Structure formats: C-alpha cells, structure tokens
Structure 1
C-alpha cells in the first residue's frame, strides 16, 4: 500500500468509521441495534437442516476461578441457527432438570464459564397447560443458555373465577420479577410458542418494545394498540412453532395463532401497571421456574 493512499481523505474517513463501529461493539458488549439488524438480514439460514437445541451445550462448564471470570463472548461459540423442534414425546420434569444441570432453583441461570452481558427475565402467563409448559421448558432453557444470557423464568398462574387475562398476568409478572433483579430485558412469552432459531436473541431493543415472533400472527398487544413504535425481529430469525393439542402437533400450520382467552383490544387501558390490582397467593421456587400464583379478581367475559 502506498503512502499517498493511506493519507488520502477518503481512506482515512473509511478507517475512522470502521474503528468507530468496532469501538461501539466493544463498548456495548454487542452490535448496536442497527448493526445487528444488518447482520441478521444478511445471514443465510436453511431450515431444512436443523440441530438439536442441546448441541455442544456441555462445552459450557464451571470456570476454575470465578473471581477472574471473563465476560462472555459477543458471539456465542455454540450458535447453530435453526433448531429441531418436535412435540411428539412429552418430556418429563426429571429429564428436563437432568439436561440443565446449571439451572438453579426458581429457573435461575448464570453462565458458569463467563460473566453474562445481558440479564433477561422470561414471563409466561399460565393456566393449567402442563403439556405446553413441559415442552416449552425443555426447549427454552437450552435456547437461552446457548445465548450466554443470565436469565430467570417466571410462571404467572391465575386462579379464581375470572376469564383468563393474559395482559394482567404479565403485568403482575413484570412487577414481581423486578423485585428480584434489575433486569435488562423483560420478555413476555406465550406458553405454547417455541423459538426455532438460536440467533433470535432474547435481549431488548435500546429504545422500543421488540416483537420477537415476527414470522407469525400474534395477539394485538397493548404496545400496538397504544400507537407505540415497535421493533420487529427479522422474519428469518423470528420463527416459532405453535403447540396445539387440539390438533395433530406435527401437522399444524406453524403460523396459525389460537384465539385469545380475553379481549385485550377492549380492556388494554384498564390492564396497565397504574391500575393493577391483584392478590398474591403464593410465590414458590420450582427447580425450573418461579411459580407466582395470583387472584386478579373477577373479569367478565367479552363476546
């Protein structure tokens, strides 16, 4: 390379921009949202070739000295992309616990080999859906561990004589989860949805709510109804399988969404954090999740 080329204004400008992007990545611990979106859009993913969600997870072992533990790498060394998801065999709780030895009581996990760059809480509204729950736990725990996240899973269970109110239960989950940790991200998750790609990062956007399941129909959440801007995960990455035991699980349309139990469109203004009223009945640490049982009062059904 000649000296004149190095000193040219165009080349120096390019070098400055490149260094600025590199420093931003190191400073934030991950690509910025714009840069991450660019990477996602360019990645070629072949869903005809999938991998087991537990592939190479055993490589994450306890660090010999926790005091000198390094930060986790920006790019997980065991990412594989598309995952093999099947609901043919219902896994037992014992099996799920055995396959996730580093998950602590309450569904709490911290990478054993490095310091996590992100802390995410997974909030799941729940009402007597044991089969869905076991499938979700079987896949979601290794999925999150593959991303080297520090995380915890919260199950918010409704009791009482009211109709199932997902929005209010998730608001309860937000309030209860924040008692445990100053989470970087709070993810509202359906019990019957399983992510199909480990590049679908369970971290939040810096400025706006993030819609993870961008490749399927979803509920009309309050963030959409309120006119707020949301960020959508690339359709290549935001693919989810839907569990439906009313049909054959493996032959269902993977993008079809079950009908909601509660009419969120009519009640979102009354289900917010400011007007939240509920009775906390119990809070118990299960080996795979924290179970929060609440009575949100009577909620009349809508036609």
Structure 2
C-alpha cells in the first residue's frame, strides 16, 4: 500500500512541469487575456475622420483631387511577395524618399518618422515594402530615418521628437511615428492623420491580431503635427526598451485628447523578427512620475546634435547624437 501511494505521488510530481506548461499555454491563447472590445472607426466613418491637409507645394497643384473610395472599400491584402522582393517603378520616388501622385492632387501629406540604429536587414525590408505599399494609396509622403549615432542606450522617443521638428520645418501637417520592424498588411490603413491621434497597428500578428490592452499606443501611431506640439511631444527620459509609449498615452490623456483606431480588418500588421532590446530598468518609475514632467520634458527640453542630413534615393537620413 505504501508502495502504491509512493508511486502515485511520484507520477503526479513528474507531471507537474507538464501541467504548468499546459496552463501557461492555455492562458496565453485564451481570448479573454486580451482587450475583448474596443471602440474603432468602421469603413463608413473613416473618410469623415481623415484630415485633408497638405504641404504648400501640393496645394498649388491644379489637378483633380485624388479619390480614395476604392482603396477603403477594397482594403486589399498587400502583404505579398511581389511587394516585398524589390522596389517597383523606383523612378517614381523622388530623392529623399518622397512621393506624390502625378495623375491627381493628393489630399494628404504625411511624414513617416522611423527611429533607427543597427537594423540593416529590417530597414532593407521596410523600405522596399513601404514604398510599394504607400504609392498605391495616392498620398504625398516622405520617409525620414532618424539614426542614433552615439553609444548611449537607444532613445526611441527622443528620435521621434527630432524627426517631428524636421518634418515640421518642411510643412508636413501629419506625423506617423513608425517602428522599422512593423509592416501593414491591408491597403485601407491610409497613412494620413485623423482628427484624433490614431493607433494604427492594433491587430498585430504576434498578438494573434488582437489588441493586448486598450491603452496600448505604440508601434505605429498617426498624430497631427500641431497636436504633437501641443502636448510637448514625447518624453526624452526613456532610454532603452519600454515605457515611452505608455507615457505618451498618459500625456495625451492628461490633455483630454482621446485616441482612435480603424476597425481590425484595416489594422493588421506583421512584425519582422528581431532580437529583443535591453529593457529600461527605470521605466516603471519614470511612468509613475511622468505627469510631473509633461510640461518640461519633451520638445521644449530637446537637446541633440545633428551630425549629418543626407538625401538618399529611398529616405531622408538624419544622423544625430543624443
């Protein structure tokens, strides 16, 4: 009898790691772990929420305005090999990674700001795909790559601040703050600004195309230049991975600025595989005290040194020391 009890206990103990693994997997895949519901703009609402605003060189064009009805209605799947292999019709892209359609007058001018350091493979894939993708949207856009040149911990938010200043100098009314490892999968996610700041990648493949939590506001974000200035940009204090997006969301909330999202079928993104960044060990403390610095930590406290600005065929390169 004692032997039987011992054997039973032994088998249970042996199964414990497997049971724990099963429970972990069960927790990970269950839908209730994610934000089960969040407000979003459906297709009929999107057009009315988009802000038609362009730079002066586009506003001077005397062509019929571009139409976007078919793009929004079809919401075509664009994550296909023909758009990922090489740049199609590269002669259409102006020096500095700028483009505007020639057959009609674009209604939207957008600066796409990409913070960067030592991600050559991802950058290559990003530039090929995004130029093939964006030109199908019939918008005016320019890609700004803001590269951190020093050996300090990577400061993503600060690079966004720098890019926003340069984009504003060139009259871009809309900013899209874009990680280099994220690619949109459907054409209906127009790279233009809405009345409210927009979280664009709310259906990300690594989260099973489900939003992890309602306050998530990172990865790819669209915000009007004047709104970004109004809230004093992002914090310059977050060095290393994590925290700056939540601080950004808190900053908007403190100014009573709501965010919006397109419906999930328009918001699908895929993430290019990469090594995880080193976490910012001070991020939780910075988040807790962030509200104390909203007025003093941001665009008005930004200090950096621009080492070089160069116009490449696919992007405008801003090399900086932070």
TM-score bracket for the superposition, by shorter chain length: 0.5 to 0.7
1:242-281 matched pairs, under 5 angstroms: 242-246=271-275, 262=280, 266=286, 269=293, 272-281=298-307
* Equivalent position of 1:214 in the other structure: 202
Q: Which of 103, 106, 121 matches 2:96?
A: 106
Q: Which of 60, 69, 72 matches 1:75?
A: 69
TM-score (normalised: structure 1): 0.64
Distance 1:84 1:201, change over 3 A: closer
Distance 1:134 1:99, change over 3 A: farther
Question: Is the Cα–Cα contact under 8 Å of residues 120 and 202 in structure 1 kept in the other structure?
Answer: yes
* Equivalent position of 2:267 in the other structure: 238
* Equivalent position of 1:29 in the other structure: none
Unaligned runs of 5+ in 2: 1-39, 47-59, 205-211, 219-244
Q: How much does 1:225 deviate? A: 2.2
Distance 1:166 1:86, change over 3 A: farther
- Number of residue equivalences: 221
Question: Is the Cα–Cα contact under 8 Å of residues 40 and 234 in structure 1 kept in the other structure?
Answer: no
* Equivalent position of 1:20 in the other structure: none
**How many angstroms apart in 2 are the aligned matches of 1:260 and 1:271?**
23
**How many angstroms apart in 2 are the aligned matches of 1:67 and 1:294?**
34
Q: Which of 167, 175, 193 matches 2:157?
A: 167
Unaligned runs of 5+ in 1: 1-35, 43-65, 247-257, 297-303
Q: Deviations over 1:64-92 (max 9, x none)?
A: xx9752211132569752435368x985x
* Equivalent position of 1:287 in the other structure: 313
Three-state SS of the structure 2 residue aligned to 1:281 is strand
* Equivalent position of 1:225 in the other structure: 250
Q: Please state if 1:133 is matched with 2:123.
A: yes
Q: Please state if 1:187 is matched with 2:216.
A: no
Q: Please state if 1:38 is matched with 2:67.
A: no
Distance 1:81 1:272, change over 3 A: same
Q: How much does 1:39 deviate? A: 2.1
**How many angstroms apart in 1 are the aligned matches of 2:184 and 2:169?**
27
Question: Is the Cα–Cα contact under 8 Å of residues 93 and 99 in structure 2 kept in the other structure?
Answer: yes
Q: How much does 1:229 deviate? A: 1.9
* Equivalent position of 1:124 in the other structure: 114
* Equivalent position of 2:225 in the other structure: none
Q: How much does 1:159 deviate? A: 1.1
**How many angstroms apart in 2 are the aligned matches of 1:230 and 1:77?**
23
1:27-66 matched pairs, under 5 angstroms: 37-39=41-43
TM-score (normalised: structure 2): 0.61
Distance 1:68 1:202, change over 3 A: closer
**How many angstroms apart in 1 are the aligned matches of 2:113 and 2:148?**
13
**How many angstroms apart in 2 are the aligned matches of 1:221 and 1:105?**
35
**How many angstroms apart in 2 are the aligned matches of 1:90 and 1:214?**
22
Q: How much does 1:210 deviate? A: 0.9
- Give the aligned CA root-mean-square deviation in angstroms: 3.1
Distance 1:172 1:271, change over 3 A: farther
Three-state SS of the structure 2 residue aligned to 1:232 is coil
Question: Is the Cα–Cα contact under 8 Å of residues 61 and 105 in structure 2 kept in the other structure?
Answer: no
Q: How much does 1:111 deviate? A: 0.4
* Equivalent position of 1:199 in the other structure: 188
Three-state SS of the structure 1 residue aligned to 2:92 is coil
